[in-house]
Chain A
Amino acid sequence: MIGVPVKDRGEDPLLEERFGRAEIFCLIADDGTRAFVDNQAPDSTSGAGVQTVQMLADRDVDTVLAPEIGPKAIAALEPLGIRVFPIGQARTLSEVLALFRENRLEERKGLSAPGGLRRA
């Protein structure tokens, strides 16, 4: 299952720049079936990214395509084995899925490198 933060529930939604504070995620199953889910995390005062990771993991997401992901969410994604791909030049859902299927997105590796937040 692929998870992508999006701005709307249209045919070809624009990609959302944020991860933890994204209000909608589009989940794409291996057979291409799409489903939209509400992300409850934007209302939390802290740890929105982590809560979003929990939500995606609960829905068996193993791949995330997203432009920006905060350090805490990144730290949470790696031990769960969820792969992260920045979106390249894509602006819409269909563009990013096309790039992903053509193997033209570069996986974000070395997620555990310490960022602004000291790791647990």
Chain B
Amino acid sequence: MAPSLTRETPVYTAFPVINEDLCTHCGKCARFCAFNALISTKRANVVMAELCHDCGGCALVCPSGAISYGRREIGRTGVSGVPGDPDFGDGILHTGEFSAEKIIEAVLEIPSDRPHRIIDAPPGCSCSAVQAAEGADFALIVTEPTPFALSDMKMVVEMLGNLKVPAGVFLNKAGENEGELLAYCESENLPLLEKLPLSRTYGKTIVEGGLLLREYPEAESLFRHLWQLIKGMGDK
């Protein structure tokens, strides 16, 4: 798709700042923190800003009101198209950061009046995948007929079930060894919406940055059909 992006909106997260004049080094903050972002000893305190998940708990448990929060930039969001009515939005996490949830949250909050929004979620069922899928009207599970993909897909199906997001399946690289996958879809009442056959020429086009639906008429009709099905299911 190669959108031309203007990427200028920073995304911040917080980290604790300890006022040493007020701190009694009781250690309650460090014992509370589930992510080990604070070390508190008689000698000194250490704040590991990168480990902080910005839950606000350390300030709540601090008996002497010594903790406030600073903020730091962890990434940026970007949009392309008309300002106020973007046709594409994305986010980047700065190198070295490892918590993408706030970036995804910021991307999902990019204002848009368009009737439909397609969210490209991370694979698997990590926190960031949950963040991207939560609240969606419909989820398209893109998978392929391998035992490895099926194993991952089962976890994704469970995640979507917990999020109460209805789902359908798109089978990529289709053609062989589909039996186990199809049986699983049937047992879970997951509709198989479309299949894209395994093809070396498709692979080549994608590696070169091309779009299948622009270069192959059969792919265009396949994706049009898929979109009609998704709209029907998502609007239910």
Query: Closest approach, in angstroms, between the C-beta of A52 and any C-beta of chain B?
Result: 9
**B36:A46 contact, CB within 8 angstroms:** yes
**A80:B51 contact, CB within 8 angstroms:** no
Bound Cα distance from A117 to B15, whole angstroms = 16
**A79:B51 contact, CB within 8 angstroms:** no
Which B residues touch A53, using CB under 8 A? 39, 46
Of residues 25 through 63 on chain B, the ones whose CB sits less than 8 Å from some CB of chain A are 27, 30, 35-37, 39-41, 43-44, 46-51
**A54:B15 contact, CB within 8 angstroms:** no
Closest A residue to B41 by CB, please name it: A57
Closest B residue to A54 by CB, please name it: B39
**A81:B44 contact, CB within 8 angstroms:** yes
Query: Closest approach, in angstroms, between the C-beta of A75 and any C-beta of chain B?
Result: 7
Query: Closest approach, in angstroms, between the C-beta of A15 and any C-beta of chain B?
Result: 24
Bound Cα distance from A116 to B97, whole angstroms = 10
Asked whether A118 is an interface residue with its Cβ less than 8 Å from the other chain, the reply is yes
Query: Closest approach, in angstroms, between the C-beta of B31 and any C-beta of chain A?
Result: 9
Chain B CB count within 10 A is highest, among A50, A51, A72, for: A50
Which A residues touch B96, using CB under 8 A? 116-118
**B36:A54 contact, CB within 8 angstroms:** yes
**A50:B39 contact, CB within 8 angstroms:** yes
**B44:A47 contact, CB within 8 angstroms:** no
Closest A residue to B35 by CB, please name it: A47
Which B residues touch A46, using CB under 8 A? 35-36, 51
Bound Cα distance from A57 to B37, whole angstroms = 15
**B44:A80 contact, CB within 8 angstroms:** yes
**B35:A120 contact, CB within 8 angstroms:** no
Closest B residue to A20 by CB, please name it: B36
Known contacts A80-B41, A80-B44, A81-B43; is-contact A120 B15 (Cβ 8 Å): yes
Query: Closest approach, in angstroms, between the C-beta of B47 and any C-beta of chain A?
Result: 6
Query: Closest approach, in angstroms, between the C-beta of A119 and any C-beta of chain B?
Result: 8
Known contacts A54-B30, A54-B36, A120-B15; is-contact A47 B41 (Cβ 8 Å): no
Bound Cα distance from A75 to B15, whole angstroms = 16
Bound Cα distance from A118 to B41, whole angstroms = 23
Closest B residue to A75 by CB, please name it: B48
**B44:A79 contact, CB within 8 angstroms:** yes
Known contacts A54-B41, A80-B41; is-contact A72 B46 (Cβ 8 Å): no
Chain B residues engaging chain A, CB cutoff 8 angstroms: 15, 27, 30, 35-37, 39-41, 43-44, 46-51, 95-97
Task: Give me 18 other A-B pairs in contact (C-beta within 8 A), A47-B36, A79-B44, A117-B96 excluded.
Answer: A47-B51, A48-B36, A50-B36, A50-B51, A54-B30, A57-B39, A57-B41, A58-B27, A58-B41, A76-B39, A80-B39, A80-B43, A81-B43, A116-B96, A118-B50, A118-B97, A120-B48, A120-B50
Chain A residues engaging chain B, CB cutoff 8 angstroms: 41, 44, 46-48, 50-51, 53-54, 57-58, 72, 75-76, 79-81, 116-118, 120
User: Can you name 7 A-B residue pairings with CB atoms under 8 Å?
Assistant: A44-B36, A46-B36, A46-B51, A50-B36, A50-B39, A50-B51, A81-B43
